[in-house]
Amino acid sequence: MRHLQTFRLIEAVARAGSMRRAAEDMNITASALNRRIRRFEEEFGSELFERLPNGVRLNPAGELMLHHYRATLSDLARVQGHVADLIGERRGHVSIACSQALLPYFLPEQIAAYRAEHTRVTFSVNVRDRDQAEQELASYASDLALVFEPIYMVDFEVIQLVPQTVHAVMAADHPLASRPELRLRDCLDHPHIAPSIRFGVRHLLDFAANKSSRQVSPVVETESFELMCHYVLHEKLVGFQIPIGLRSVGRAGADGLVCRPIAARDMPAGNLILGQRRGRTLPVASARFALQLAGALKALQPVQGE
């Protein structure tokens, strides 16, 4: 749609921070890009960028314009979804920002189930920490967010919430593996591997440890839960994860991992939250997928703590 091309160029410049780099990304000359944006600014009645010695950045008017463009794209996708429904052909695109825990098992199953019914719907899955996921909703970069312990929730409209008890993860021959439930102090007394402070699991660990005058002091700290779950098999460390990111909970899995819940009196459950931007009407495909996710998450609640 030609009338949206100028907005795409404005977004490209804002993202690149430079007319030259944006022109290279959009495969046009820098002079042509600059002329087009200047012409738009004249018609609009205001400049959109601050021209700096080493590039450009959006000014307040530009921020408002970019927000309008992203909202327009969202509304357009919603209308296209309704039109597709009228002719009996579901199509569209769903973008979701999610915590790492959702990647191995939950989201692949949910996306595959949805696409089995609606093969023309495409997906983008953006792995984000809890702060970044909320930013993606606010900027329309993602339609949905599924994150553990979000931080601000100012523009975050909750669709579904499910408690998740943090579990200790270890090799099946670890000294703590025979216990059905673990005290946090026992986990911290053993060498442990922990997620970095950007993640909700670590936030809960630090808060609970501080309450009991203890400290999370990992011998390995990582931003990858996959690395953590693999590494405990190489060294007798204790790792930490929520059950939705684990295949085997309460028993030894084929991968040699054992997962045990940490006692609620030491660390209360955190919340895994599915949400969208507050006040936004989602495109049809995203709204329907959100309903599917909400139902799947709701079904998880009775089995927490097993």
Residues 275, 148, single domain; the answer is yes
Residues 175, 132, single domain; the answer is no
The pLDDT, as a whole number, for residue 128 is 92
Which residue, among 273, 269, 271, 270, has the nearest Cα to 294 in the 3D structure? 273
Dump pLDDT digits (tens) for 53-110: 888 888 888 888 888 877 777 777 767 666 666 444 467 899 999 999 999 999 999 9
| CATH number of the CATH domain containing 31 | 1.10.10.10
Residues 254, 295, single domain; the answer is no
Share of residues in the chain with pLDDT > 90 (%): 52
Residues 127, 261, single domain; the answer is no
Inside any domain, residue 25: yes
Give whole-number Cα distances, 115 to 30, 271, 296, in Å: 41, 27, 15
Q: What is the mean pLDDT of each run of 10 residues along the chain (306 residues)?
A: 74 87 87 86 86 86 82 73 57 90 94 93 92 88 92 88 95 94 96 94 95 93 93 94 81 76 95 93 90 94 50
Residue partners of 44: CB distance under 8 A and separation at least 6: 65
Residues 262, 281, single domain; the answer is no
- What angle, rounded to 10 degrees, do the helices at 60-86 and 284-300 form? 80
Domain that holds residue 186: 166-268
**Beta-ladder partners of 182:** 262
Place of tokens 């011998």: 219
Query: What are the b/e assignments for 120-151, b being 16+ CB within 10 Å?
Result: ebebebeebbbebbbbbbbebbbbbbbbbbbe
| CA 202/CA 198 separation, integer angstroms | 7
Residues 235, 150, single domain; the answer is no
Q: Please state the pTM of the whole predicted model.
A: 0.71
Inside any domain, residue 290: yes
How many domains, in total, are found in the chain? 3
Helix, strand, coil tally for the chain in percent (to 5):
45, 25, 35
Greatest Cα pair distance, the chain, in angstroms, is 72
